[in-house]
Amino acid sequence: MTLRLHDTAARAVREFTPLTPGKASLYLCGATVQAPPHIGHIRSGVNFDILVRWLAASGYQVTFCRNVTDIDDKILLAAASEGVPWWAVAERNQRAFTRAYDALGCLPPDVEPRATGHVPEMIVLMRRLIENGHAYAAGGDVYFDVLSYDRYGELSGQRLEHMRAAEDVDESHKRDPRDFALWKGAKPGEPSWETPWGPGRPGWHLECSAMSTKYLGPTFDIHGGGLDLVFPHHENELAQSRAAGDGFARYWVHNGLLSLGGEKMSKSLGNSLLVDVILTEIRPAELRYYLGQAHYRSEMAYSPEALAEAVAAYRRIEGFVTRAAEAGQSAGATPAVSAAALPAGFTEALDDDLAVPQALAVVHEAVTEGNTALAAGDVAGAAKQAAAVRGMMSVLGLDPLDEYWSGAGGEESLRPVVEALVAVALQQRQAARERKDYAQADAIRAGLLEVGIVVEDTPRGPRWELRR
């Protein structure tokens, strides 16, 4: 099988055939950094990280571009409410997004352009559109003429006569209420950049067309983003880029949203769950598992119960791999990562529009077989299953024995200290058990648990792990 992806524009699953054989280019609409990220934002990051990893595992040389919108109405409003410069809000929240992506093991993009650094490219694109008769300057703004592009609406499937007016600027200067702003004229107290049509700042849609084509070329393979961006953002990107003469994206891939209580998770509703807060309750690998376990196109409904189920599922995988590694070390063999020979069911699932739920079913089947082998004392059989599990979980960015997760959060430098302190506590616990002071032994174990250290008694002695 070869990779097939659901293309929003085609409204169907299509075989992925890259523009250049052996190479894959991907542009992902990143954050508008007016506030720190909630887990709904980072679901997109995890979903597309799995796509990047699978493309690479399938032999493609991947170029991954994820932008940052660092100038926007919402950023200006946040800055005004705080009484700080707009760039301070953008920089603070951009760092929070980077911290969240890193914590959840998302591979860094090859390039992460910011809107404010690409005004020259936006000017060139606007000039091309004006010269082609698809845009016009009026009242200090520059607008895209929707009626000049007869394929407008093809991505979202909407008909022009049913569309409402674009709400991005004052309509008084527009030829048609549905025309959208490419450039917004300067207002008192707002940041601005000079252009041939007057000072101002970028429109949201213009920046992504300018940045994606600068780094990936006038035609590239995949454009990704959340389902909420299909209209108007991606519709407008497609229209302005094609009108300017660019082939633009060949596949449009959109992830489903994360909801809370039946409503889209958003800051405006006040129901967001910040990544930094969630990571005080569970470990980063567990949150990544939760956000990546569902099919990327499905809607996820957040609940503490669903999160707890995902945590338990990941710990089951982690527990097996750890026990198999310990058994292998005792027998003089450690299960290695084996991504070269992934189970057929796993590869078929990911090739089928990144069907992660089906891929994880293969993982859990291998875990069950591995646990059965361990119970029977079949160390070699357990090691074989553990190697397969590690290979599959590595593709999903979640190999439990990967040093990334053992040192997640910058704790690797403290690991020797933690190990020494835990060893002392376990020695004291063992001494208490030998003198039959079980109350003291239980108190020591409970004390370790309070700081996130879980102790499990095994036939080979106690083992422990640090959990958040």
Instruction: List every span in the chain annotated with CATH 1.20.120.
Output: 317-404
The whole-angstrom separation of Cα 98 and Cα 31 is 10
pLDDT in tens, 157-180: 988 877 777 666 666 789 999 999
Predicted pLDDT of residue 411? 46
Q: Taking residues 361-365, what's their average pLDDT?
A: 98
Instruction: List every span in the chain annotated with CATH 3.40.50.620.
Output: 4-130+147-166+203-276
Q: Taking residues 452-466, what's their average pLDDT?
A: 78
Can you point out the beta strands (E) in 227-320?
248-255, 258-260, 263-264, 300-301
Is residue 337's pLDDT more than 60? no
Question: pTM for this structure?
Answer: 0.86
Q: Taking residues 142-156, what's their average pLDDT?
A: 96
Compute the mean pLDDT over every residue in the chain, rounded to the nearest whole number. 90
Q: Which CATH code for domain 4-130+147-166+203-276?
A: 3.40.50.620
Angle at 230 between CA 300 and CA 148, to 5 degrees: 170
Predicted pLDDT of residue 269? 52
CATH class of 317-404: mainly alpha
- The residue among 293 and 405 whose pLDDT is bigger is 293
Q: Is residue 328 very low, low, confident or very high in pLDDT (cuts 50, 70, 90)?
A: confident
Q: Taking residues 268-287, what's their average pLDDT?
A: 83
Give the amino acid at 204: W
Q: Taking residues 294-303, what's their average pLDDT?
A: 96
Q: Quickly tell me which residue has 């929240």 as its tokens.
A: 93
The whole-angstrom separation of Cα 317 and Cα 325 is 12
pLDDT in tens, 89-127: 999 999 999 999 999 999 999 999 999 999 999 999 999
Q: How many CB atoms lie within 10 A of CB 74?
A: 16
Phi and psi, residue 224, nearest 5°: -120, 165
